[in-house]
Amino acid sequence: MELADPVETGVWKFSGRRPASSVSLPVEVPVGAGQTSGALERGTDGIITIAAYGSESPNAKAGSGSDPISPNLPTPGNNAGSGPSASQERATLQRLLNTKARIVGESERCKTKILRGQEPLRCFADVLARYEARLAREAGRGSGVAKAALPIVRQMARDIRRAKSNAQGLEIVRRGIGKVQRIRLVRSQDAVVAKLQQQQRAVLVDTLQAVEINLAKAIAI
């Protein structure tokens, strides 16, 4: 069903699978000064997906009106859909930002350790190993971005320990950054979730780029 509003130029599409036994639920979407009304069907099997086309999703309420229906989420009364929620991805982003601060700080402290005699590649391999452990923790919590980046960082940590020269170690880090930048995110119907996942990937890239810069400085000592 399409609801076209004369005030707004956007078109809202409400689509879903109709089960054998279903009931109609009234929907009222405030648009401008007026309202657009329609109906959704809800049954015992399957969920209804509301796809918003335009700048922002409508604030729609179904059934008793006590629970809002958000885009790409089940209607009230159905089981929750698969995939992370925006709140989960937002919490993941914050933890990745905290991890970035920690890892960047540890990579900066390598300078002092190197001045005391530690090999540059060994110090930065340890930093990447700790980053790997933190990404593994996020992957265990269900972060798709962390799961995708984990094997890349793990391989970086292993390869840099086996590097034959500082220049080779620096190239290993740079190749790893390129791989993280090319991580393909699963396309989400939820624009907020998709944006948060893009931000998570950007944080991972920023973290590794900071490590690269600090490694280059350490090599130049």
Contact between 104 and 210 under an 8 Å Cβ cutoff? The reply is: yes
* Main-chain phi, psi angles of 64, to 5 degrees: -75, -15
Structure confidence at residue 82 (pLDDT):
60
| Spatial CA neighbour of 16 closest among 6, 24, 8 | 24
Here the tokens at position 164 are 């034959």
pLDDT surpassing 90 at residue 84: no
Q: At what angle do helices 144-162 and 166-181 cross, to 10 degrees?
A: 170
Contact between 40 and 24 under an 8 Å Cβ cutoff? The reply is: yes
Alpha carbons 47 and 221: distance in angstroms, whole number: 60
pLDDT (tens digit per residue) in 3-28: 444 444 444 444 444 444 444 445 44
pLDDT (tens digit per residue) in 147-181: 999 999 999 999 999 999 999 999 999 999 999 99
Alpha helices in the chain (DSSP H): 86-115, 120-140, 144-162, 166-181, 191-219
Q: What is the dihedral of CA 141, 136, 170, 120, to 10 degrees?
A: 130
pLDDT surpassing 90 at residue 51: no
96 three-state secondary structure? helix
pLDDT surpassing 50 at residue 1: no
Q: Please state the rounded mean pLDDT for residues 71-98.
A: 71
| Spatial CA neighbour of 215 closest among 134, 128, 149 | 128
